Amino acid sequence: MEYLDREIPAVDAIIVTDYGKGFVTQDLADHISRVASGSGKILVVDPHPYTSLSWRGATAVKPNRTEAFLEAGMRVSDVTPPILSDQGLLEAARRLLELWEPQSLLITLGEHGMLLVQPDVPPHHISARGRDIFDVSGAGDTAIAVFTLGLAAGATPMEAAELANCASGIAVGKLGTATVTTAELGAAVAGL
């Protein structure tokens, strides 16, 4: 926590990915949230559904579909109707907005794209970009990294989510955990 107190003022944004290994505790989550909020830093969190930590006040939280249902205390639905009519998913999103009070909730949906949900704004579904899928390893990490980078660069949450969706589409088209280059992302965005 002392390290974070020293380092957070020097960064534009903070990403926390909870892999459920026990390092990220509620005390640490509260401290990061407090320091980020107090210094006006962007805080984007990828939660772990079995730690059930509160991320109240984060700039954005980015669960995947399964994590969203579990974090909302709901049974995971195997049925995936058209995203904007998926009442189970929309209810999970509503509960998470109430629970964490983030500015944005970005739910990644694999081959179904992403759902951006914000208070007092209609949900926005972003369709997955048509690409061959070779390996989904790292797609969520790519999404949170590019989403956060977009926010830090001044993009709106919707613009940042569109960028994250493009980047994830590139990442899954590569074998193994792979990086997405600036040139690849630029080409993907130019093709929108």
Q: Which helix H or strand E contains 46, and what residues bound it?
A: strand 42-46
**With 0-12 CB in 10 A as exposed, 13-18 as middle and 19+ as buried, what is 157?**
buried
pLDDT tens digit sequence for 167-181: 988 888 777 777 888
Q: Where are the domains of the chain?
A: 2-190
**With 0-12 CB in 10 A as exposed, 13-18 as middle and 19+ as buried, what is 4?**
middle
Confidence bin at 15 (pLDDT 50/70/90): very high
Kindly state which CATH superfamily the domain 2-190 is placed in: Ribokinase (3.40.1190.20)
CA-wise closest residue to 44 among 152, 182, 163? 152
How much is the pTM? 0.90
- Percent of the chain at pLDDT > 70 equals 94
Q: Which helix H or strand E contains 71, and what residues bound it?
A: helix 65-71
Active-site positions? 141
- Are the C-beta atoms of 83 and 77 separated by less than 8 Å? no
Point out which residues pair with 41 in neighbouring strands. Answer: none
pLDDT tens digit sequence for 71-110: 999 998 776 777 878 889 999 999 999 999 999 999 999 8
